[in-house]
């Protein structure tokens, strides 16, 4: 059985501005780095074999912070783990989209990557990771939309209606050709920082 912890990257300035990021290569903001440190401390309680990440900076930096804490220096960067391409929508807020394209903007072809394409490429990466790490424990740092679309394909019965939080953990495992989700969108590691 291969176990995988799917991680959404830490927060960015565009997350706070509610701008569509897509494949725009934005860095983490200070809060995003702090979230990654808290996540790394949580993951350090377990043993991990490898870390894979999107090659976009917000995900690769999150992965490096985790790797530094876990003593895993090699981060396997894979462009297939990038966020869904946003086409003309990238860099815009909902308000700007409404002003530019109207209330039905989400039904228009604005060059955005289709959900099924995200499902296909995300699933292919995870199947490759299973081949590389049979019976392994692997961390995968990626992005909210591509992870949810990947889960939609691998675990169709899973409710993915709740968007993934920054640095949330979703645990999946493949056992005898069946994927199961053991934990979805968990970010309890951030609770202690909110209280202080």
DSSP 109-168: -SSPPPHHHHHHHHHHHHHHHHHHSTT-EEEEEE-HHHHHHHHHHH-TTS---SPPPTT-
Distance CA 48, CA 5 (A): 10
Cα–Cα distance, 141 to 62 (Å, whole number): 7
Pairing type for strands 137-142 and 178-186 reads unpaired
CA atoms of 3 and 64, how far apart (whole Å) = 20
What is d(CA 173, CA 104) in angstroms, rounded to the nearest whole number?
38
Residues with catalytic annotation? Answer: 9, 83
């Amino acid at each position: 059985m291969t176990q995988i912890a799917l991680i959404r990257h830490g927060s960015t300035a565009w997350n706070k501005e509610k701008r569509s990021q897509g494949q725009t290569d934005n860095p983490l903001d200070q809060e995003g780095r702090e979230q990654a440190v808290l996540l790394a401390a949580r993951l350090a309680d377990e043993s991990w074999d490898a870390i894979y990440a999107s090659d976009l900076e917000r995900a690769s930096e999150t992965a490096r912070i985790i790797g530094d804490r876990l003593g895993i220096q090699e981060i396997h960067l894979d462009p297939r783990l990038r966020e869904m391409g946003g086409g003309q929508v990238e860099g815009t807020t909902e308000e700007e989209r409404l002003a530019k394209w109207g209330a039905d903007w989400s039904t228009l072809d604005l060059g955005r990557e289709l959900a099924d394409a995200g499902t296909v490429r995300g699933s292919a990466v995870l199947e490759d990771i299973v081949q590389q790490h049979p019976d392994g424990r692997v961390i995968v740092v990626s992005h909210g939309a591509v992870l949810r679309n990947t889960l939609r394909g691998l675990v169709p019965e899973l409710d993915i209606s709740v968007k993934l939080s920054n640095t949330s953990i979703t645990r999946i495992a493949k056992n005898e050709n069946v994927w199961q989700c053991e934990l979805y969108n968990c970010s309890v590691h951030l609770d202690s920082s909110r209280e202080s």
